[in-house]
């Protein structure tokens, strides 16, 4: 997730925005994004419950295993260890030489997090949030019509794969490479697409999306370098 940090660095360099404050806005954005995807996921699961249950069973991910984790004694041992370390650091905070520096940095981040209070037009902010995620979805859904073997799949199938792919991208790999392919291929096979065609779809769609990110990144870096020279 180096892009989140580099974005804050660019804002600090070219727009004189505090790095810590901009990092705080990133935290706020990710909180809003998390809430949005949870709402989308909740609606999709309610509409396609049998699909998700079958997918979890076929991939060996059983819901009762999560409940077993919460009832395991080792889970609570690890949890109490983390709490103990956090409590120890809290009581020793003023004896640590970097306490004041870290405290100031955290306060700036908190200012960025609370920047949501300063949004002038909340309805417009919510509309843009919805529009961004709608673009994410249609960016994926329209690729179905690029292949004869996926053109017949409906919007609900695309929504199920979109939700699965979104969670797969959370895994820290380059643009979700690997986990995203696994989820999309598995779900396509569930909808009757053979493994070879599902692999072709996942490989081509992910490669083109990644290429677009790289292309826009190169353009952005080039444009920033010219902007920097003009200011000088």
List CB contacts of 38: < 8 A, sequence separation 6 or more. none
The DSSP letter of residue 128 is H
pLDDT tens-digit map of 14-35: 778 777 777 777 778 888 888 8
Spatial separation of the C-alpha atoms in residues 92 and 95, rounded to whole Å: 5
CB 177 within 8 A of CB 206: yes
Tell whether the model's pLDDT for residue 47 goes beyond 90.
Answer: no
Please, what's the b/e burial string for 128-153 (b: 16 or more CB within 10 A of its CB; e: otherwise)? Answer: eeeeebeebbeebbebbeeeebbeeb
Dump strand ranges (E) for the chain: none
Q: What angle do CA 224, 230, 231 make, to 5 degrees?
A: 90
Locus of tokens 């919510």: 126
Q: What is the pLDDT of residue 71?
A: 64
Which tokens hold the place of 90?
A: 């809290």
Average pLDDT, the chain: 80
For the entire predicted model, the pTM comes to 0.69
> At residue 154, what are phi and psi to the nearest 5 degrees?
-85, -175
CB 147 within 8 A of CB 197: yes
List CB contacts of 191: < 8 A, sequence separation 6 or more. 153, 157
Lowest mean pLDDT among 58-72, 138-152, 210-224: 58-72
pLDDT band for position 110 (cuts 50, 70, 90): low
Spatial separation of the C-alpha atoms in residues 19 and 11, rounded to whole Å: 7
- Give the CA dihedral 72, 75, 76, 81, nearest 10 degrees: 150
The DSSP letter of residue 148 is T
Locus of tokens 């260890």: 81
Tell whether the model's pLDDT for residue 42 goes beyond 80.
Answer: yes
pLDDT tens-digit map of 190-207: 888 999 999 999 999 999
What is the domain partition of the chain in residue ranges?
A: 121-232
Spatial separation of the C-alpha atoms in residues 133 and 29, rounded to whole Å: 13
């Amino acid at each position: 997730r180096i892009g989140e940090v580099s974005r804050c660095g660019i804002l600090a360099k070219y727009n004189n925005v505090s790095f810590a404050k901009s990092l705080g806005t990133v935290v706020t954005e990710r909180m809003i994004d998390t809430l949005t995807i949870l709402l989308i996921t909740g609606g999709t699961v309610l509409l396609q419950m049998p699909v998700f249950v079958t997918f979890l069973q076929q991939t060996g991910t059983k819901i009762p295993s999560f409940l077993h984790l919460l009832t395991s004694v080792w889970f609570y041992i690890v949890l109490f260890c983390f709490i103990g370390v956090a409590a120890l650091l809290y009581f020793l905070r003023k004896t640590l030489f970097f306490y004041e520096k870290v405290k100031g940095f955290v306060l700036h981040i908190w200012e960025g997090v609370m920047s949501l209070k300063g949004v002038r037009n909340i309805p417009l902010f919510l509309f843009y949030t919805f529009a961004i995620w709608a673009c994410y979805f249609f960016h994926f859904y329209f690729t179905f019509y690029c292949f004869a073997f996926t053109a017949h799949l409906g919007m609900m199938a695309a929504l199920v794969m979109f939700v699965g792919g979104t969670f797969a991208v959370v895994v820290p790999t380059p643009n979700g490479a690997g986990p995203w392919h696994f989820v999309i291929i598995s779900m396509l096979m569930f909808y009757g697409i053979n493994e070879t065609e599902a692999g072709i779809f996942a490989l081509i769609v992910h490669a083109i999306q990644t290429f677009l990110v790289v292309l826009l990144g190169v353009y952005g870096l080039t444009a920033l370098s010219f902007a920097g020279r003009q200011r000088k």
